[in-house]
Amino acid sequence: MKIHELEGHIQTIYLVEYPDKLLLLDGGCRCDVAVVRSYIEKDLQRTMADLKLVVVTHMHPDHAGGARLYQKRYRIPVASAKLDSQWYAGVKGSVQHNVDTLLAYWVAHRKKKSFRWLWYSKNLHPDVVLEDQQTLPGFDDWQVWSTPGHTDRDLSLLHPESRLVYVADIMLKVKGKFITPVPIKFPDRYRKTVKRLSQLSYGEVLMAHGGRCAVRGEDFLKLGHNVEETPQEYEVLIDIMKSFIKKTLTSR
C-alpha cells in the first residue's frame, strides 16, 4: 500500500494505491475530480476503472463536491455514513449549503487559487453506507470510525497496520498549530470524538488541511478545550463581509 498526497483546490487529497486497485479517502471539491483523474492516468499510468471506492467523510464542498461525478461519470461507488437524513435537508439546509460553498470560494481566494466551479448537489445518495468500526468494502485493512462533531456524520479512517488515521476535518494544522474546524455543530459530540481519538496509539494523522504528521493524544485533548472559542460559519461570513466593505470604502 502506498498513500499519494495530491494538492486539491483547497485541501489535501489522499489516494491510496494497491497493486490491483485504488482507494480515495475523500471526495474532494468538484474540480478535484479532474486532478485525481490526471494523476491516476499520467502519474500512476493506470485507469479510472482501478479506482474502486470513494469515501465521503462529510458533506462540505471540499469533501463531497466530487461525489456525484465519480458516481455518474465513472460509475465508481461512493461510501458515506449511515444516516437517514440529508445534511442539507430542507430550506435551512439549502441556505447552509450556499453558505458553505461560498466559504469554500473564500478559502480558495485566500489561497490565491484560480476560479473553479465548486457548486455541487446538496444531497448525497451513497452506494455504500458505513457504520462505526466496520471495515471498508474491498479494503478490509481500513477501519471506519464515526467521529461526529464538526457535522453529524463525520468519519475517520484508520489503517491499523500502518498506525495512521485519516481524520478529514476533525483536526486542522494552520501555521504550525493544531486547531478545531469551523464550525463545530455538535460541541459535546466533538469532545467525545477527540477524546476517543486521543486514546489511539497511532503514529501519524492525515488531515485534509494540514497534511500528514505525528500527533500526540494530548494534541487531540487540547482541541476539546477550545470548542467554545470556535466561531460558527455565519460569524466567519459576517467578518468576511465586513472586511470586504471596509476595503471597498477605503479604496475609494
pLDDT digits (tens, 9 = 90+) for 26-81: 999 999 999 999 999 999 999 999 999 999 999 999 999 999 999 999 999 999 99
Q: Are 126 and 153 in contact (CB under 8 A)?
A: no
> Does the pLDDT at position 203 exceed 60?
yes
- Rounded CA gap, 190 and 154, in Å? 10
- pTM of the predicted structure, to 2 decimals: 0.91
User: Residue 104's pLDDT is what?
Assistant: 95
Per-residue model confidence as pLDDT tens digits over 231-244: 566 565 556 555 54
DSSP 43: I
User: Residue 240's pLDDT is what?
Assistant: 59
- Rounded CA gap, 8 and 203, in Å? 24
Per-residue model confidence as pLDDT tens digits over 156-199: 999 999 999 999 999 999 999 999 998 999 999 999 999 999 99
- Rounded CA gap, 116 and 29, in Å? 9
DSSP 227: G
How many other C-beta atoms are found inside a 10 Å radius of the C-beta of residue 6?
A: 18
User: Residue 248's pLDDT is what?
Assistant: 46
User: Residue 170's pLDDT is what?
Assistant: 97
Q: Are 26 and 55 in contact (CB under 8 A)?
A: yes
User: Residue 193's pLDDT is what?
Assistant: 98
Q: How confident is the model at residue 23 (pLDDT cuts 50, 70, 90)?
A: very high
User: Residue 226's pLDDT is what?
Assistant: 78
Residue 56 one-letter amino acid: V
Residue 180, Cβ density class (10 Å: 0-12 exposed, 13-18 middle, ≥19 buried): buried
Q: Are 32 and 24 in contact (CB under 8 A)?
A: no
Q: Which domains does the chain have, with CATH numbers?
A: 2-229 (3.60.15.10)
User: Residue 236's pLDDT is what?
Assistant: 58
User: Residue 227's pLDDT is what?
Assistant: 81
Per-residue model confidence as pLDDT tens digits over 85-135: 999 999 999 999 999 999 999 999 999 999 999 999 999 999 999 999 999
